[in-house]
Amino acid sequence: MKQQGQLSQTDMSNILQSQRERLDLINLQVVDLLSERMKVCMGIADLKAIHGIAMMQPGRISYVLDMIKIQSEAVGLRPAYTESIFKLIIEETCIQEDLLINQYLGPGQSS
């Protein structure tokens, strides 16, 4: 007879399976949302390039990070955790925006 807390690998897998499946779905949704976010950002980059608007908008970045902090607190997440994630998201977005804007400007020019 097994003592409490001593489960076989199969038992552990069975216990965790439904939660892991749910987590996998959430992970895929996060990737889909990141893709959707990037598409919107590329649309913004198109507008910036067409209208000669600077790629970097520090006020907007501050606004987004502040908004994320407030929402994180509201839903019980540690703001430093979500801020670190969004800094990575914003960094990648800036890289992609810069590449797109430089396509409009041509070789040797920068935004």
Q: Which domains does the chain have, with CATH numbers?
A: 9-105 (1.20.59.10)
Q: What letter would DSSP give residue 3?
A: P
User: Residue 55 has what DSSP assignment?
Assistant: S
- Rounded to an integer, the average pLDDT of 3-16 is 80
Indicate whether 59 pLDDT > 60. yes
Terminal-to-terminal C-alpha distance of the chain: 69
Which residues have a Cβ under 8 Å from the Cβ of 65 and sit 6 or more positions away?
83, 86, 87
Amino acid occupying residue 53: I
Helices (H), 1-111: 9-51, 58-75, 79-105
Band the pLDDT of 104: cuts 50, 70, 90: confident
